[in-house]
C-alpha cells in the first residue's frame, strides 16, 4: 500500500499570510499523512515561527534535504533557503514575494523531474511576487507557461460542483472581446477531457452560461449569445461534447440547476467565482485543468487580516490535497484502462 502513496509537494505561499497555518493544520490531521507523503517547500525557521501561533500540540516538521528523502507518516519540509528572514504578519513585503517564488520554482522543478507526483500551492500575493521570473496574473498562467500548455482552464471544485471560466484574470472591460467561438470551444474541450480523465466521469454534461443578463433575452440585451455562444455549443455537440445552454447565470444558480450538470462553464471570472465562493468558500479548490501534471490550490487568498491569529480554516487546503491525490489516481487508472483496451484490441487483430 505504501508504494502507492502519492507524494504531494506543497509550496508555502506568502510567509506573511495564512499559508503555514493552513498547511500545519492540514498536516496535523492523521488521515492526511496516512493517504500521502507530504513535502513542503519552505523554511523550517519560518515554519517554527508560524507553529507557535497555532494551537496544535505534538506536531513537528521532518526536515529533509530533498523530496526523495521524504518519509511516510511525517510532515516533511525542504529548506528552499536557510537565511533568517523578517516575518511581518498581514503585510505585503518584497522578501515574502521572493520567497514564495523560490518555493514555487523548486516545487515545479521537482514536479518536472517526477520527484513529487502532484503540487498543492498555498496562496501568494499576486503583486509582490511579480519579477522578471514571474510576470503572470497568477499560478495558473505561470504553470501553463512552465509546461508549454496553451489550452488550459481554471476549474473551481467542491464535491460535485465544478465551474470553469472562459476568461479569467483580465479586466471586465476586456471580457466581451475575449469571448469568441473558438475560445469557448477550446475551454469546453479542455473541460470535457478533464471531466473524463481527471474526474472519472464517462459521459459528462456541461452547462454553459450566457454573457449578458437573461442570456441576452433573444438579442434584446446583447448579441453574443446568438452570434457566438450558441454556435460554439452546437459545434461542441458535433464533437461529442454534451454542452447545453446558454443559461442566464442568476436563475441558473438560484434554482440549483447547476446540480444537474457535471460542470459549468462561465464566461468570466466573477460570474463563476461569486456563486462558487458563496457556496464553497471553506472547502473549495482551484484546479488547473489541461496541464500534463496535477496542481491544486485552496480557493482563497493570503488572508492577511487574520494571519497569525489562529483563525484560518484548513478546509480548503485539506480538500486541495485530497483532490490532487484523487485526480492523480484517476489519471493513472484512465491510462491503465486505455493501455489494457489497446492490448485487447491488438490481440483481437492478431486472431
- Nearest CA to 175 out of 231, 235, 228, 246 is that of 228
pLDDT of residue 223: 93
- Nearest CA to 204 out of 259, 243, 164, 155 is that of 243
pLDDT of residue 220: 86
Please tell me the distance from the alpha carbon of residue 148 to that of residue 150, in angstroms, as a whole number: 7
Please tell me the distance from the alpha carbon of residue 83 to that of residue 15, in angstroms, as a whole number: 14
User: Which grid coordinates are listed for 35?
Assistant: 493517504
- Residue-wise DSSP of 287-344: EEET-SSEEEEESS---GGGTTTT----HHHHHHHHHHHHHHHHHHHHHHHHHHHHHH
* Residue 147 buriedness (CB in 10 A; 0-12 / 13-18 / 19+): middle
Please tell me the distance from the alpha carbon of residue 292 to that of residue 294, in angstroms, as a whole number: 7
82 CB-side CA count, 13 A: 3
Which residue numbers in the chain have pLDDT < 50? 1-2
Q: Please, what sign has the CA dihedral across residues 268, 148, 157, 203?
A: positive
Please tell me the distance from the alpha carbon of residue 296 to that of residue 319, in angstroms, as a whole number: 9
pLDDT of residue 1: 39
Give the DSSP letter of residue 49.
Answer: H
Question: Which pTM value belongs to this model?
Answer: 0.92
pLDDT of residue 179: 97
Label residues 211-244 b or e (16+ Cβ within 10 Å = b). Answer: bbeebbeeeebbebbeebbbebbebbeeeebebe
Structure confidence by residue, pLDDT tens digits, 64-80: 999 999 999 999 999 99
Query: Domains in the chain, please, with CATH?
Result: 1-149+291-351 (3.40.718.10), 150-290 (3.40.718.10)
Amino acid at each position: 500500500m505504501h508504494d502507492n502513496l502519492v507524494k504531494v509537494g506543497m509550496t508555502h505561499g506568502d510567509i506573511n499570510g495564512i499559508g503555514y497555518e493552513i498547511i500545519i493544520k492540514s498536516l496535523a490531521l492523521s488521515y492526511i499523512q496516512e493517504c500521502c507523503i507530504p513535502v513542503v517547500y519552505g523554511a523550517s525557521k519560518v515554519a517554527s515561527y508560524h507553529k507557535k501561533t497555532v494551537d496544535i500540540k505534538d506536531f513537528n516538521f521532518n526536515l529533509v534535504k530533498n523530496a526523495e528523502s521524504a518519509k511516510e507518516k511525517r510532515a516533511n519540509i525542504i529548506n528552499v533557503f536557510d537565511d533568517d528572514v523578517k516575518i511581518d504578519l498581514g503585510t505585503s513585503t518584497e522578501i515574502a514575494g521572493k520567497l514564495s517564488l523560490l518555493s514555487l520554482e523548486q516545487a515545479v522543478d521537482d514536479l518536472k523531474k517526477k520527484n513529487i507526483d502532484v503540487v498543492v500551492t498555498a496562496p501568494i500575493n499576486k503583486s509582490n511576487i511579480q519579477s522578471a521570473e514571474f510576470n503572470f496574473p497568477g499560478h495558473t498562467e505561470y504553470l501553463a507557461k512552465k509546461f508549454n500548455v496553451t489550452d488550459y482552464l481554471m476549474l473551481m471544485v467542491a464535491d460535485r460542483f465544478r465551474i470553469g471560466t472562459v476568461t479569467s484574470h483580465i479586466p471586465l472591460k476586456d471580457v466581451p472581446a475575449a469571448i469568441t467561438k473558438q475560445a469557448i470551444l477550446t475551454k469546453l474541450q479542455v473541460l470535457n477531457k478533464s471531466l473524463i480523465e481527471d474526474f472519472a466521469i464517462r459521459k459528462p454534461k456541461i452547462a454553459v452560461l450566457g454573457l449578458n443578463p437573461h442570456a441576452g433575452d433573444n438579442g434584446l440585451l446583447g448579441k453574443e449569445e446568438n452570434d457566438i455562444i450558441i454556435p460554439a455549443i452546437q459545434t461542441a455537440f458535433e464533437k461529442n461534447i454534451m454542452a447545453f445552454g446558454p443559461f442566464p447565470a442568476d436563475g441558473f444558480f438560484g434554482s440549483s440547476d447547476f446540480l444537474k450538470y457535471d460542470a459549468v462553464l462561465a464566461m468570466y471570472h466573477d460570474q463563476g467565482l461569486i456563486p462558487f465562493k458563496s457556496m464553497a468558500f471553506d472547502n473549495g479548490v482551484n484546479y488547473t485543468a489541461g496541464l500534463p501534471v496535477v496542481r491544486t490550490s485552496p480557493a482563497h487568498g493570503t488572508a492577511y487580516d487574520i494571519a497569525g491569529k489562529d483563525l484560518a480554516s484548513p478546509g480548503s487546503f485539506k480538500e486541495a490535497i485530497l483532490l490532487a491525490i484523487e485526480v492523480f489516481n484517476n489519471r493513472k487508472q484512465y491510462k491503465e484502462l486505455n493501455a489494457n483496451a489497446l492490448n485487447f484490441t491488438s490481440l483481437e487483430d492478431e486472431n
